[in-house]
Amino acid sequence: MNGAAAARGAPRRIWAGLRRALRRVLRTWRRSILFRVVGATLVLSVVVLVLVGQLVLTGVRDGLLDAKVAASLARADVGFSSATSQFSTDEANRANVGQMLTQMVTSLREQAGRTDLYEVILIPSPATDTSTSAGRGLRSTVGIGVNTVPQSMIEELSARPEQVISRFVPLCYGQLGDPCPVEGKQVDPGLAVGKQLRLSPTAGSYQLYFIFPLTQEEKTINLVRGRLALGGAAMTVLLAAIAFLVTRSVVRPVRSAAQVAERLAAGRLAERMTEKGEDELARLASSFNEMASALARQIRQLEDLSRLQRRFVSDVSHELRTPLTTIRMAADVLHSSRGDFAAPVARSAELMHAQVERFESMLTELLEISRFDAGAATLEAEPVDLRDVVRRVVEAVEPVASEQYGIRFRLDLPDTECVAEVDPRRIERVVRNLLFNALEHGEGRDVLVRVAADEGAVAIAVRDYGVGLRPGEASLAFNRFWRADPSRARRSGGTGLGLSISREDARLHGGWLQAWGEPRAGAQFRLTVPRVAGTVLSSSPLPLEPPDRGVVPPLPGPADTPEDLQRAGRGPDV
């Protein structure tokens, strides 16, 4: 059983290995200019050399065969004349015809000498009676078999007795009726030239064939073919080597430029290309180095400016702490005593108290942004069930949602734990910012908060059914101080930095904060964090596009009761 299973699995393993090899070749083809140029040169060289070699070989072969056919026809014509002259009418009537035919074939063969120029075959024509005592029959020289002449050629010559017929045939050495060519044996080519002769009334008519071997011509053609193949292979290797050397001389500076560009992108601004010579590649290296120097200067200037900006924001934020604390204390005193003031003064105290709170929140967020910019933000991760985090934040925001916006939160939490290694303070801030953003743009409709988890990640999604996002605004939503509708007044006192800070908190966890939205169909923000700190995310347990995409619930009416909302599917209060 194991042997059979191994035999069945062998083709699959071979096929899998071939596919892996093909993928590696395709990957190298896509990534390497040198490989593409050398490979294309090899393929095109082989095609061109095969075509040229075929043309040359065809020309040589045709020339040799044409010369051989012309010489053979001339020699056969002399033989036909000699055979006719050997049979006079008187001699044919007095002599033994069979003996004279045999002597004629021998004489014609001896005229060729020792060079084996040709062999002779004598065949009675189909109209000749070969059953007489004259001994007429098939005759041939020792070096050839009579079955060399194909039956089709005999029939053609009988139909056209006045013509000389030539045909390329394989040389056979067996007896009459034996297969030709003989299976398993190499076949030598030959040329058969035949003519039908009327020797005498008593001898009848015979078909005389001269068989000219083409062995020497075949050797010459094989020699030319071998030399062409050897020369083509050498030429292909030489062209591939030339293409490799030329391409490498061009690719090397490009590869060097790519490596230097990667080092520059990694922050090693002092990297430069080596300049050699005065050609185009040297000018490329010089221009690249000038560009790198200019970019390095600009980057350093921007870094200095950014460093000054971060320091300014940090210093100003810290310096504002003391006066802000004093102003906050005075505003609290005035706000607590506003009942003793006249109506305009009391309203002024309330406005000042609200704006001081907003200013303090903005100052806190500016300090947090400056810590992210300076790379000083740290993560204090611990195992936390994110369902508990969501419940705490929703309970804290719910009074504001119901009093100021008339909005309810609906929770969709799984029964199983959703534990992840996170910084609970930062996750609470992210969820709080998402909830306030949903309240601000929810148009008075309920907000759905979902939590889900899989083996590698935990996700929190906040879905509102308000104004939504126009195309292209999903990525802008996380920019600092960006607002989807600048004319829209804020009711929650936001600063425009909440989503920016939330995205930085998500990145600090190695997670994602993404947005989806459609105009008048609401929006959904999804936070995804890994279960184990430091793990790279590959997917999220929740889809970015909500399942109820395109479904917008109606606004609650003034007479709606909690029971009505429950029946309408807009959930119980949290």
Identify the weakest region by mean pLDDT among 61-65, 98-102, 398-402, 471-475. 98-102
118 compared with 381, residue with greater pLDDT:
381
Domain with residues 97-213, CATH architecture:
2-Layer Sandwich (3.30)
Strand residues in 310-456 grouped as ranges (E): 382-385, 409-412, 419-422, 447-453
Q: pLDDT band for position 199 (50/70/90)?
A: low
pLDDT at 571 over 50: no
Which residues on adjacent β-strands are paired with residue 198?
Answer: 205
Angle between helices 343-373 and 280-336 (to 10 degrees): 150
User: Residues 102-125: what's their mean pLDDT?
Assistant: 75
Whole-number Cα distances in Å, 30 to 33, 174, 246, 332, 541: 8, 61, 19, 69, 35
pLDDT for the residue numbered 486: 54
Q: Can you give the C-alpha Rg of the chain in angstroms?
A: 50
Confidence of residue 113 (pLDDT cuts 50, 70, 90): low
What average pLDDT is seen over the chain?
A: 79
| Helices and strands in the chain: count of H runs, count of E runs | 13, 12
What is the phi/psi pair of residue 49, to 5°? Answer: -65, -35
Query: What is the arithmetic mean of pLDDT over 256-263?
Result: 80
Q: What is the mean pLDDT of residues 301-322?
A: 72
pLDDT at residue 8 is higher than 50: yes
Question: How many angstroms separate the CA atoms of 94 and 49, rounded?
Answer: 66
Q: What is the pLDDT of residues 364-408, one digit of tens each?
A: 766 677 666 666 677 888 999 999 999 999 998 998 888 888 899
Confidence grade of residue 2 (pLDDT, cut at 50, 70, 90): low
497-515 tens-digit pLDDT: 778 888 888 998 999 999 9
What average pLDDT does this structure show over 446-458? 93
CATH class label, 379-567: alpha beta
**Could you state, in order of their start, the residue ranges of all structural domains in the chain?**
1-27, 32-86+216-263, 97-213, 280-357, 379-567
Q: Which of 164-173, 334-343, 455-464, 467-476 has the highest mean pLDDT?
A: 455-464
Phi, psi dihedral angles at 517 (to 5 degrees):
-170, 155
Q: What is the pLDDT of residue 298?
A: 84
pLDDT of residue 435: 93
What is the model's pLDDT at position 184?
52
Q: Which residues contact 542 (CB under 8 A, 6 or more apart)?
A: 450, 452, 459, 461, 526, 528
Mean pLDDT of all residues in 142-162: 81
**Do 75 and 117 contact (CB within 8 A), yes or no?**
yes
pLDDT given at position 440: 87
Q: Give the pLDDT of residue 485.
A: 58
- Of 19-23, 146-150, 184-188, 191-195, the range with the highest mean pLDDT is 191-195
Cα–Cα distance measured from residue 405 to residue 437, given in angstroms and rounded to the nearest whole number: 12
What's the pLDDT score for residue 93? 52
What would the pLDDT profile of 324-349 be if each residue is shown by its tens digit?
A: 778 878 878 787 888 878 888 888 88
Q: How many CB atoms lie within 10 A of CB 242?
A: 12
For residue 389, the one-letter residue type is: V
Average pLDDT score over residue span 431-446: 89
- For residues 573 and 22, the model is more confident at 22
CA–CA distance from 278 to each of 247, 283, 482 (Å)? 19, 7, 51
Give the model's pLDDT for residue 559: 41
Alpha-carbon distance of 467 to 477, in angstroms, equals 13
The answer to whether the CB of 487 falls within 8 A of the CB of 480 is no
For the chain, the 3-state helix, strand and coil shares in percent, each to the nearest 5, are 55, 15, 30
Q: How far apart are CA 14 and CA 19, in angstroms?
A: 9
Q: What is the mean pLDDT of residues 11-33?
A: 79
Segment holding 212, helix H or strand E: strand 204-213
Which amino acid does the sequence have at 487?
A: S
pLDDT reading at 277 higher than 60: yes
Both tokens assigned to 204: 């009848």
Average pLDDT over residues 457-472: 90
3-class secondary structure, 458? strand
β-strands 409-412, 447-453 pairing: parallel
Higher pLDDT, 243 or 202: 243
- SS3 of 499-541: the string is HHHHHHHHHHCCCEEEEEEECCCEEEEEEEEECCCCCCCCCCC
> In this predicted structure, which of 264-273, 284-293, 537-546 has the lowest mean pLDDT?
264-273
pLDDT band at 185 (very low <50, low <70, confident <90, very high): low
* Positive/negative CA dihedral, 486, 490, 494, 495: positive
The closest of 469, 467, 500 to 482, measured between CA atoms, is 500
544-564 per-position pLDDT tens digit: 999 887 666 766 654 444 444
Give CA–CA dist 349/111, Å, rounded: 140
- pLDDT over 60 at 91, yes or no: no
